[in-house]
Chains A and B, each alone.
Chain A
Amino acid sequence: MNFKQYILVCGGTGCESSKSDEIYRNLLSAAESKDVKSDVQILKTGCFGLCEKGPIVKVLPDESFYVHVKPEDATEIIEEHVIKGREVKRLLYDTSDSKANKAMENLDFYQKQFRIVLRNCGVINPEDIDEYIARDGYAALSKVLSEMTPDDVIAELKISGLRGRGGAGFPTWLKWNLTKEVESDQKYVVCNADEGDPGAYMDRSTLEGDPHSLIEAMAIAAYTIGADYGYIYIRAEYPLAINRLKIAMEQARGYGLLGKDILGSGFNFDLEIRLGAGAFVCGEETALIASLEGERGMPRPRPPFPSVKGVFGKPTVINNVETWANVPVILHKGGKWFASIGTEDSKGTKVFALTGKINNSGLVEVPMGTTLREIVYDIGGGIKDGKKFKAVQTGGPSGGVITADYIDTPIDYASLQKLGSIMGSGGMIIMDEDDCMVDVAKFYLDFTVDESCGKCAPCRVGGKTMLHLLEGITKGKGTMDDIEKMKKIALGMSKASLCGLGQTAPNPVLSTLRYFEDEYLAHIQEKRCPAGKCKDLTVYEIISDKCIGCGLCARRCPVSCISGEKRQPHVIDQEKCIKCGECYSVCKFEAVSKK
């Protein structure tokens, strides 16, 4: 059936939590009651990426991009837009009249993006396999099974230059080839969807918005290496993604794209979902394998590498979601096409989760080599509340910070490493002048200490000791010796830890020490936190010129340490103050200063 208009409602986790499902149902019932059901098709899609402005509704063919839509707006969209053909102006992202400006592709947020991994997110209904097929879905699998040998597939991947998107950046063709070359009665393919880096959620959105691309890619890998079974290891915290994967697998089986004799080629392949149980370290491939086998998710020494000895002791290819999502496109359009995007050592695109103190938080996919400035200012719309950009943290608990001085660096694997950070899974947390870098380092170390599995001593003991030193510094009890001690422990951890978690855990500390040593010195020598974040070093004082003596702060103070005559400036007794900040937040005259 051909419809005159299409309404796409974002069904990603972010928008769903802002009632996008209710919007969807209201649109359906409004279309029914106004009798326009045969004119307009209403669809729920995956994430559009611009989570800041959600819930998002897009109307085609007018390309109207509605933001912050509420369930009660549904009737108006149907009555005004669908029936009368008049856009609901107040809901448009860009309210200017010029038609060219408001199409999604022309918004600043999307203009510099290039979507390969997220190609179908926000475009198709992820619960309908036909829509995936209509956008060249399963074309790559069909081509591979009918025209290509496993060696052809490896060769194409080699030309493409695709490297793992989970963090380490290992060449994908090499990984596959290692497993292909091993003789074994059973091999496995595994999707690592245990996305755990705080501040990264591209895998979640890809799974929710385009689950079939993962199934297709895993089938291609299975054919290439000679496997007939695969596992998707996904976090239990992602219920929507799990559900959509289940639907997609069921549909693929129904179409003969999973199961026995796929597309009549004689090739068999099936998949199973396994849920993670809340352990960050299981994102590390050997720990993930231990968890799949039903054990404590503790890493194992490498070698042997999983490509030789993986799940249940069998050769296994493990890739993360974003890596998998690139594969069908590469085989459909060719490795050469893919290699034409990006930089010399980093081909293709990278999805970043832009969060923190940024105006347009959301998911962005850009060609490798895009500069940080373009991402933060052109796409991200700059810093929230007009504050000053201080740093961006990349690579999560294994990465580091990049400062304003390096904002014009083109982003690829090598350039980030040179700056003391890493690409990691693609979290980008923007920090402004209010963020204390010592506190940020402490935050990450606290995270890795908490998530350390405890198997090897450098990580278990080193992390804890380093955290203890950092806590001392944020409490004003640090000494200059502590910095040297931390550097020494960091070296030991990075050289001697068993897995990536421990080896990279000191990175946030080393990186902040490198670029923000002055902040550490202020904490240690002057017992002062320049950003006013570290509670024990913060001093609250009443500015007598501004205080009108209303007494509100004195009444709210939980330890009654503020005194003063009515209508006279008050004073805080620093001896008794517990630095709770209540006076600072209740004062209506900005008469309390925080230093």
Chain B
Amino acid sequence: MSSTLYTPTEHQDLLMNIIESLKEQKGALIPILQSAQDSLGYLSEETLKTISRELSIPYSEVTGVVSFYSYFTTVPRGEFVVRVCLGTACYVRGGKEVLEELKKLLDIQVGDTTPDRLFSLEVGRCFGACGLAPVVLVNDDIHQRVKPTELAAILAQYRVQHSEKEAAEGASA
């Protein structure tokens, strides 16, 4: 997921490009929503209204679809989305303890984002990596056989990644 911020015009252009490129296929609404969220980070009211207008699908129907699927989010998320697997295999191997520790470390509840917009905490239902339970996903990275005591170090890794990225961006600016 991108955390880049766009100007309103850039935002609108990007969205229109996505809609144009996908609207011809049958059942285009979900692919368009997915693609819009992937590029824009989240689905704002403005974004959804544009999609509704362009596809001639009532706004109520668009938000109906958005609220149905857990993949979609209408609020901005953190740069790193931390997802704890609570599928059965992870559950019996201590996934719940991992989640509790993360709540403590990040000081947020499931579904929330830290005030610095660095981390969001979510739970997942099986990522298909059951042989490595319990599993924590940070964006697309899979962390396997996670122990609650290792979580602080894992989070620190991403904090470093963030500051390095910022430093690089600062240097190039």
Q: Which residues of A contact B (CB under 8 A)?
A: 13-14, 16-18, 51-52, 54, 195-201, 204, 235-239, 272, 274-280, 291-298, 312, 353, 355-357, 361-363, 393, 396, 427, 429, 431, 435, 440, 443-444, 447, 451, 453
- Are A275 and B34 closer than 8 Å at their CB atoms? yes
* Pairs A–B under 8 Å by Cβ, sample size 7: A200-B128, A277-B30, A294-B27, A296-B68, A355-B88, A361-B131, A427-B88
- Are A14 and B144 closer than 8 Å at their CB atoms? yes
- Are A393 and B28 closer than 8 Å at their CB atoms? no
- Are A14 and B92 closer than 8 Å at their CB atoms? no
List the 10 shortest-distance A-B pairs measured between CB atoms, nearest first: A51-B131, A198-B87, A277-B69, A201-B128, A17-B142, A355-B89, A294-B27, A294-B29, A278-B70, A278-B71
Task: Give A416 to B31 CA distance when docked, in angstroms.
Answer: 39
Residues of A within 8 A of B127 (CB): 237
Task: Give A435 to B83 CA distance when docked, in angstroms.
Answer: 24
Contact of B92 among A52, A292, A294, A429 (CB under 8 A): A429
- Are B128 and A195 closer than 8 Å at their CB atoms? yes
Contact of B144 among A17, A197, A291, A435 (CB under 8 A): A17
- Are B70 and A13 closer than 8 Å at their CB atoms? no
Residues of A within 8 A of B33 (CB): 277
Task: Give A142 to B131 CA distance when docked, in angstroms.
Answer: 37
B112 to nearest A CB, angstroms? Answer: 18
Which size bracket describes the interface of B in this complex? 35 or more
B51 to nearest A CB, angstroms? Answer: 11
- Are A429 and B70 closer than 8 Å at their CB atoms? no
B26 within 8 A of A: yes
Residues of A within 8 A of B31 (CB): 274-275
B129 within 8 A of A: yes
Residues of B within 8 A of A52 (CB): 131
Task: Give A278 to B70 CA distance when docked, in angstroms.
Answer: 5
Contact of B68 among A272, A297, A447 (CB under 8 A): A297
- With A17-B144, A296-B68 as known contacts, state yes or no: A361 contacts B130, CB within 8 Å: yes
- Are A355 and B69 closer than 8 Å at their CB atoms? no
9 more CB-based (< 8 A) A-B contacts, given A14-B129, A427-B89: A18-B132, A54-B131, A196-B126, A198-B126, A200-B126, A236-B71, A294-B65, A361-B89, A435-B92
B46 within 8 A of A: no
B91 within 8 A of A: yes
B49 within 8 A of A: no
Contact of B91 among A296, A297, A312, A443 (CB under 8 A): A443
- With A17-B142, A277-B71, A429-B92 as known contacts, state yes or no: A293 contacts B128, CB within 8 Å: no
Taking CB as reference atom, which chain B residue is nearest A235?
A: B128
Residues of B within 8 A of A276 (CB): 71
Taking CB as reference atom, which chain B residue is nearest A49?
A: B131
Task: Give A52 to B34 CA distance when docked, in angstroms.
Answer: 34
B73 to nearest A CB, angstroms? Answer: 10
A560 to nearest B CB, angstroms? Answer: 18
Task: Give A195 to B129 CA distance when docked, in angstroms.
Answer: 12
Q: Within residues 9 to 61 of chain B, which ones have a CB less than 8 A from any CB in chain A? A: 25-31, 33-34
Residues of A within 8 A of B125 (CB): 196, 198, 280, 447, 451
Task: Give A201 to B90 CA distance when docked, in angstroms.
Answer: 13
B72 within 8 A of A: yes
- Are B130 and A201 closer than 8 Å at their CB atoms? yes
Task: Give A447 to B86 CA distance when docked, in angstroms.
Answer: 9
- With A280-B125, A294-B27 as known contacts, state yes or no: A51 contacts B132, CB within 8 Å: yes
B102 within 8 A of A: no
Contact of B93 among A272, A279, A356 (CB under 8 A): A356
- Are A356 and B88 closer than 8 Å at their CB atoms? yes
Interface centre among B27, B31, B86, B93 (most CB of A within 10 A): B27
Contact of B130 among A16, A238, A355 (CB under 8 A): A355
Task: Give A292 to B87 CA distance when docked, in angstroms.
Answer: 25
Task: Give A272 to B26 CA distance when docked, in angstroms.
Answer: 11
Interface centre among B25, B88, B132 (most CB of A within 10 A): B88
Task: Give A54 to B145 CA distance when docked, in angstroms.
Answer: 12
B170 within 8 A of A: no
B124 within 8 A of A: yes
Residues of A within 8 A of B28 (CB): 294
Residues of B within 8 A of A278 (CB): 69-72
Task: Give A444 to B126 CA distance when docked, in angstroms.
Answer: 13
Taking CB as reference atom, which chain A residue is nearest B25?
A: A272
Taking CB as reference atom, which chain A residue is nearest B57?
A: A294
Residues of B within 8 A of A279 (CB): 68-70
- Are B128 and A238 closer than 8 Å at their CB atoms? yes
Taking CB as reference atom, which chain A residue is nearest B130?
A: A355
B104 to nearest A CB, angstroms? Answer: 11
- Are A18 and B130 closer than 8 Å at their CB atoms? no
Contact of A237 among B29, B34, B124, B141 (CB under 8 A): B124
Taking CB as reference atom, which chain A residue is nearest B92?
A: A356
Residues of B within 8 A of A357 (CB): 92-93
- Are A277 and B34 closer than 8 Å at their CB atoms? yes
B133 within 8 A of A: yes
Taking CB as reference atom, which chain B residue is nearest A453?
A: B68
A66 to nearest B CB, angstroms? Answer: 17
Residues of B within 8 A of A296 (CB): 64-65, 68
Task: Give A453 to B34 CA distance when docked, in angstroms.
Answer: 20
Residues of A within 8 A of B89 (CB): 198-199, 355-356, 361, 427, 429
Q: Within residues 68 to 87 of chain B, which ones have a CB less than 8 A from any CB in chain A? A: 68-72, 86-87
Taking CB as reference atom, which chain A residue is nearest B38?
A: A236
A575 to nearest B CB, angstroms? Answer: 24
